[in-house]
Amino acid sequence: MQAANRLQKSLTKGEPSFGGWQMLPGTNLTRTICRSARNVEWLLVDLEHGNISDDSMHEIVAASAACGVSPIVRVAEGQPWMIKRALDSGAHGILVPVIDTAEDARNVVRYSKFPPVGNRGFESLLAVEKFVEQHPHGSEVKELTGMEYLQQANSSLVIAVQIETKAALANVREIAAVPGVDVLFIGPFDLSVNIGHPITNPERMDPELVEAIQEIHDAAQAAGKATGIYCDTGEQAREYANKGFQMMSTMTDMVGMRKVFKQAFDAANGDL
């Protein structure tokens, strides 16, 4: 499983990992994103704010994994059934929003891990297929068995929790210390609103927000965990990678399409 999980491999090596962000349904869109560049390592399937249903999530996870890109599902909230559905679909990891306390984080870990670490129920029929190692030109397909999934899942799936509230910021060191949490992922827009400094210009964030982001990163580093952050552009993602962050989105489907269409129509308009 670890061999197939590109995000986890980069996190383990301490290297930056760049991903795409899908809010709209459709596996053609999934394949387009995943095949757009060689360094797309993961795709975030957004069930919290995206227009993606449970069945669409299953299809997107499958399409992403088939492209060799790790599917990471952001559940709507940290409910056990939501986490179960995401992981049973074969997701290589989850992102759980609105984590305020260490107890919230411990619950996420408990719902995500098989016994004795947690209490996740075991059913791997859909999940195992998302960890197949298949090489081109007729080489052998290496399939994962259900028992191998059970034995490896606790150490092979990425558990990321989102730090985006004033309460989470106050408790960030305790959250970072929770065993089983791999990534503290920053939602800068919600965090900015929650601490009273909304982002009006992504290129010029309030100093208190910048300080809060650094505080979260420092807490993660002190606990031996990775830091992730939502970015709208590749330039932002590289900037955070240079600061030691490891999990950065580089483009969201809705943001990217709007930007590219606007550029095209502005160019077509010319001097008219």
In the chain, where are the structural domains located? 2-269
What are the catalytic residues? 49
pLDDT digits (tens, 9 = 90+) for 218-239: 999 999 999 999 999 999 999 9
β-strand 133-134 against 141-142: which pairing, if any?
Answer: antiparallel
The residue among 90, 83, 95, 80 whose CA lies nearest residue 21 is: 95
pLDDT attached to residue 88: 97
Q: Measuring CA to CA, how many Å separate 253 from each of 83, 186, 201, 271?
A: 23, 19, 20, 29
What pLDDT digit, counting tens, does each position of 116-148 carry?
Answer: 999 999 998 999 999 986 665 666 777 889 999
Most confident among 5-9, 137-141, 200-204 (mean pLDDT): 5-9
Task: Give me the count of residues in the chain.
Answer: 272
Please identify which residue in the block is written with the tokens 């550029």: 263
- Pick one of 3.20.20.60, 3.90.245.10, 1.10.3720.10, 3.40.50.20 as the CATH number of 2-269: 3.20.20.60
pTM of the predicted model, to two decimals? 0.94
Q: How far apart are CA 85 and CA 100, in angstroms?
A: 23
| Single-letter residue type at 178 | V
Which residues make beta-bridge pairs with 43?
20, 71
Q: 150 versus 197: which is more confidently predicted? A: 150
